[in-house]
Amino acid sequence: MPFCPNCGTEVGEDTRFCPECGRPFMIVGQVGNRKNKKKIAGIIAACIVAIIVIVVIATHTPTSMEPEPAIPAHFTTYTNEWGLFSISYPPEWELDLESMEETEQSCQEIISSITSDIPVEEAHFLFMAGLPGEGSNVNIVVEPLSGIVWTHDAVVTVAIEGLKEVVSDYHEFSRVKTTIDNRTATIIEYQATFAGLGTGHFVQMMFIVNKTFWGVTCTALSPDEYSEWEDDFDAIVRSLRILK
């Protein structure tokens, strides 16, 4: 039996990923088909794109822990038609659910452009809303996690590694591990530049529900926008509730 060169765990002959640390293995006969075996497991969020990358690279310990605050009383709360989830946002913002199909198509184009060895699947948009006439917005993206026993920290790390695949720069301002809806969650504030979209300021929350990755991302397309909505962004990503 072979052993994982990263952590030393004994693995099977045809194992693709180490069950302990998640290190991917190259299997004979698969080298020529890498581009046809892409998959996604974390979220890459921008104003109109999100990608989830499924491969464990490493774990990253978030910088701190915080208690769960209450949802602001003046926020508008949206519950989706199947009663699956709810999310709250400032009363000035408006739903933009009709844009989700077009956004998923744009996301798939980004996914198809990835040339690395990471396997890729679709990212599914469940919600979009924003401030009319301005760039500030929020979206929710989900992706099933299959084939590997996932940890929260591993998914967060993979999501950020995937993000770095499609941006020309990435600057992380903060990373906070907290509890949202009684689940372990991580909130990351960062700045990144996407080709054709420019530089945005993002606040992104990630957690896992029943082997499904959930990502909530707020986007501002200018420093002034972010300064105006900074507190609201944090409250929006913390407001997600899974109802069933």
pTM above 0.75, yes or no: no
E strands within the chain? 64-66, 76-79, 85-89, 94-95, 124-130, 137-144, 167-180, 183-194, 198-209, 212-220, 241-242
* The one-letter amino acid at 232: D
Cβ neighbours for 101, distance < 8 A, ≥ 6 positions apart? none
Give pLDDT, residue 58.
33
What count of other Cβ atoms lies within 10 Å of the Cβ of residue 215? 25
Give pLDDT, residue 110.
61
User: In the predicted model, is pLDDT for residue 228 greater than 50?
Assistant: yes
CB 237 within 8 A of CB 64: no
Give pLDDT, residue 11.
67
Average pLDDT value for residue range 143-148: 72
